[in-house]
Amino acid sequence: MRRVVLIDGENLVYGIRHLLGNKDNKAARSVAGNFNFRGLIEELLADNLPTEVLWFGARLRLYDQSPEIKQKSSVAIHNQAKFVNLIQKQKITFIKVGYLRARESDPCEKCGHKTWKLAEKGVDVGLAVRMVQEADKNTELVVISADTDLLPAFQASSKLGAKLMHIGYETSPIYALTKVSDKTRTITLPLAQKYKA
């Protein structure tokens, strides 16, 4: 049986930061910059079955609506390039889907100032499409995400005969995805600490 691991990248980074943070704050984003994702995945799978690992992240572009957003998007592009190099060294393929959207925040109630924010859009859809494309009776799909928007893709992949494993986080179990899966694994705080460089 072949196996494909599909990672909702930003979701995994958020989950790791949440696990490694404290009750008031997530760990710094830089924690992902030297995290051993491949080691974590191999321990969760606990066998030597050949595994293709796909990391889904947004296509980035430079926004120039303001100096602030130009700076933020420039930094995001630079950081993503470094991060892609890190995960490629771990034999993980980076799949660019969706996009990074720039939008203004609501004005501050006190001063009226607005800031620019960047948010991923469409990455979960790209992962869902690939999941269904890969699904057949000779394939195990391992999905790392806590996004319930993936539920229809889980259901469709199951109907196509794929075996499903859902990997979530101990801080936010997603029972809807677990219920549809054949197996479930959980990323715990000790596991996250073990693979943090």
Q: CB of 62 within 8 A of CB of 77?
A: yes
Q: CB of 160 within 8 A of CB of 132?
A: yes
Mean pLDDT over residues 122-142, rounded? 94
For residue range 144-197, what is the model confidence (pLDDT) as tens digits?
999 999 999 999 999 999 999 999 999 888 999 999 999 999 999 999 999 997
Calculate Rg over the CA atoms of the chain: 18
pLDDT for 117? 67
What class, spelled out in words, does domain 2-194 have in CATH? alpha beta
